[in-house]
Structure 1
């Protein structure tokens, strides 16, 4: 192998050795709660000791009272000394009793605060370099990524992203359960320690829900139902983790009901959510809203799923100003290609879920999705206001994971999509992605991860947003030595990874866009090595 090819491996070796210098992580929430519990135990012990001291002092007071009575004939000065001693002991007893009561109240307050409280999080952070001072990547790095054609994420992420979720659950005296959820998130690509100028801190979820409602217990189909309102992700969203791409992602602000059971083998959820497509961009300055009504049904112990959504955005190609007078065509709302976007659409998904991998360890899922008009974005339902009424998208997704033997695990995934008339009449987008991740467990704390991605595409964007045609293939392979608390499962975290990624693609993809990675100077076909280190965690 020539020396230029060896340089990435030398850099990879240095990165591997540098893991010994990583600082210890900050205490987790579980550790802080454990410390709080330890302090509570100490407080309880002190309270018990104070009670014992109080009991001992009461006995001492009683003894001195008896002694004072027996020696009532003692000289006056001695009687005064005994009286002062009794008063001092009684004052100390009262102080100890007050401290005992305060400590007990503190313990009760801590228990009230933490009961029903939970904290969850997801985070990833790492750095990547191609050996010349830069690094490009991300699951949507390819031209097909412009319409959701993701590729493998292992060794292909350059960002720091964090989500924090806080929830509090309580139960009323009538048995009704309530829950409040608050979630924030932030993501940046700069590696600096202070990133406020690049931050996109956002409240991702804030909602409340009621379950096991006492008023529903006499209605069989509603006994298990949960009602909710606020801003949230739908509870039953799911994705292909290896691609960081949702199979279906329903989110917005609204309300709904979960787990209505018309029969024993039929469960359904219903919701109405609102999303925004932003300002009109003319003198009207309207916030263009869209509304998504969804009925999500499950059959046969949740193995089969039929999800249907209707989408409406009556002002998305509005030509009216605040006085309801017609504006000129130049003042009409248009997409980035100058065409009037759609006002309605619908979305459907038919899916099959197995809790095993055809009888083996793991799971298996497949889904067929179709969208029309504003439903043409089949992942984020109602999330793309640029789509035409004529837009159509068909997508097939198949994925799962299982164990090959005692030491090896495998997670294959395949997505194929065909879409047309999305943003420009007669535009055409076609791609197929195959991805497989392998894990080889070498010890209880160390495993080797491997990921291979191949994607083929035939895209004709018709100039939309500066995009051109792209016809060719992309492929990527990643090697990632990985440390974790315990090996054996794909979804056990945290993971600390070193990685070396090699990617290449057809020359015809190089000039897809002047704004995306494929079209940028220094990022051309012919092979690119990228090295890095990353952590990923969730709980």
Structure 2
């Protein structure tokens, strides 16, 4: 039998060892030892082979694990990159959303259709249960804008219906279309088509957030059409605008020069009565009046400047006791206003104050550009202020003052002076019922110099109203609507005021100085 070299070496070693010990083993004993030794060696070799196989398998598993780890690291890097990109896109989208919300903060939702409106309607009668005179401009001073308190002093139905459509483009640009239908009616009948004053008062389009506009124009809004100016504001309790600019034209809002300084620019066109006052539509007698306006805002302050031009309007003639005075064909108007977020800095609430001045065609300082009979020398100054504040948990108050002086308004030497004080009080009884109180006083000194056959008068007017009121909104908010109110009003005035005009309310049959009671019910709503 052939033995492997290593076995031979082992056998020789054993023989030598045996010989050295003096032993004489037989050949069979030696071969048995060799076989046992070979068997142990084979078992050791098998164990070594298995260990080597396990080591190789472990190395393969380690290699696979390293490969998988590298793959996971690559995927982790890709996920992190994707998350970073998504975060940036989210930030960009949030920024765009914030910009759109800022641009349209006064316009509600950024897309879709919107319906809004205003309405008031009610019935009024005197103490004898018959028709009576009423209205916020019922006094002689009302002809030049002298309003008195409106609560319990209105007998008409007036409705405004607004339809709007807004959309936001993929670029972020926005558009807004608005149309307003309005109707005023004094008849109590259900069908009033024959005496309706239905009219489209507004129809315009706005374009905002145009991506190609940069610098001061970046967040501006373009508009064109027929509209009420966005910067108009009023004293609701008197039904009197502090400033009312309207007509057909175009302009741009929100030109931002800095964080707290912005401007709005507009051009409005209006039409005056025909020169012959026959209200015909002959192009040769129709006078067109154009108004260029800049409205500038610095924080709560507003400064408005306007210029007016009506070519050929100087041919209009106003007749008075001292002769004829021609109307103006140009004019100037300005207003400085403060819109406060407190009640004159004294307590919580709101307040607004405005000082207005107009010359020539600008001397109609409230309804700018609406009066074509103003003279070249006409000058008007008006101060208006009002505020709203809660007095306690159940009481709120809203005082208002308007004062005006207008000289050389229609006739050289005429003079119209008046001042109105008005206060409305609200007492909450339950969450759906309140008691409203209103007091008004107006003093007037009017010298029309015979214009429209009106006479010189001076004197005072006052009105007191009590109105139990039901509502479903926030009853602590004096301007929340809708409301349904019952009312009782008492008014009186100086006897001299009855002789101001033969065509106004004072002095008519059944409506003379000495005290008048009016009773009625009215609803008012807006949304």
Residue 341 in structure 1 maps to residue 338 in structure 2: no
Question: Match for residue 158 of structure 1?
Answer: 155
| 1:430 equivalent among 401, 417, 420 | 417
Question: Match for residue 116 of structure 2?
Answer: 120
The DSSP-based 3-state class of the residue aligned with 1:146 is helix
| 2:352 equivalent among 338, 350, 365 | 365
Q: How many residues align?
A: 408
CA contact (8 A) 2:341 2:349 kept: yes
Residue 456 in structure 1 maps to residue 443 in structure 2: yes
CA distance in 2, matches of 1:176, 1:280: 45
CA distance in 1, matches of 2:111, 2:401: 43
Question: Match for residue 100 of structure 1?
Answer: none
Structure possessing the higher radius of gyration over alpha carbons: 2
Normalising by structure 1, we get a TM-score of 0.74
Q: Is there any run of 5+ residues in structure 1 with no aligned partner, and where?
A: 1-113, 319-332
CA distance in 2, matches of 1:339, 1:165: 42
Question: Match for residue 445 of structure 1?
Answer: 432
CA distance in 2, matches of 1:336, 1:198: 32
| 2:479 equivalent among 488, 491, 515 | 491
Question: 1:519 Cα shift?
Answer: 2.6
Question: Match for residue 355 of structure 1?
Answer: 341
Residue 309 in structure 1 maps to residue 306 in structure 2: yes
CA distance in 1, matches of 2:140, 2:360: 22
Question: Match for residue 524 of structure 1?
Answer: 512
CA distance in 2, matches of 1:285, 1:495: 48
CA contact (8 A) 2:442 2:461 kept: yes
| 2:143 equivalent among 129, 143, 146 | 146
CA contact (8 A) 1:294 1:307 kept: yes
Deviations 1:132-176 (A, max 9, x none): 311111000001101000000000001000000000001122111
Range with greater deviation from structure 2 (126-135 or 434-443): 126-135
CA distance in 2, matches of 1:186, 1:238: 21
Residue 178 in structure 1 maps to residue 175 in structure 2: yes
Normalising by structure 2, we get a TM-score of 0.76
CA contact (8 A) 1:143 1:470 kept: no
CA distance in 2, matches of 1:176, 1:284: 40
The DSSP-based 3-state class of the residue aligned with 2:188 is coil
| 1:469 equivalent among 450, 456, 459 | 456
Deviations 1:476-522 (A, max 9, x none): 00000000003110111000000000000011111111110013121
CA contact (8 A) 1:403 1:410 kept: yes
Q: How does 1:41-440 map to 2 (within 5 A)?
A: 116-132=112-128, 133-216=130-213, 219-281=214-276, 285-299=284-298, 301=299, 303-318=300-315, 333-335=316-318, 337=320, 338-357=324-343, 358=345, 360-440=347-427
CA distance in 1, matches of 2:189, 2:500: 31
The DSSP-based 3-state class of the residue aligned with 2:503 is coil
Question: 1:221 Cα shift?
Answer: 1.0
CA distance in 2, matches of 1:232, 1:388: 27
Question: 1:279 Cα shift?
Answer: 2.6
The DSSP-based 3-state class of the residue aligned with 1:215 is coil
CA contact (8 A) 1:249 1:379 kept: yes
Q: Cα–Cα, structure 1 residues 506 and 247, in superposed 2: closer, same or farther, change >3 Å?
A: same
Deviations 1:38-91 (A, max 9, x none): xxxxxxxxxxxxxxxxxxxxxxxxxxxxxxxxxxxxxxxxxxxxxxxxxxxxxx
CA contact (8 A) 1:342 1:389 kept: yes
CA distance in 1, matches of 2:466, 2:288: 45
RMSD value, Cα: 1.4
Deviations 1:87-133 (A, max 9, x none): xxxxxxxxxxxxxxxxxxxxxxxxxxx95110110000001100331
CA distance in 1, matches of 2:305, 2:460: 33
Question: 1:284 Cα shift?
Answer: 6.4
The DSSP-based 3-state class of the residue aligned with 1:309 is strand
Q: Is there any run of 5+ residues in structure 2 with no aligned partner, and where?
A: 1-109
CA distance in 2, matches of 1:280, 1:432: 32
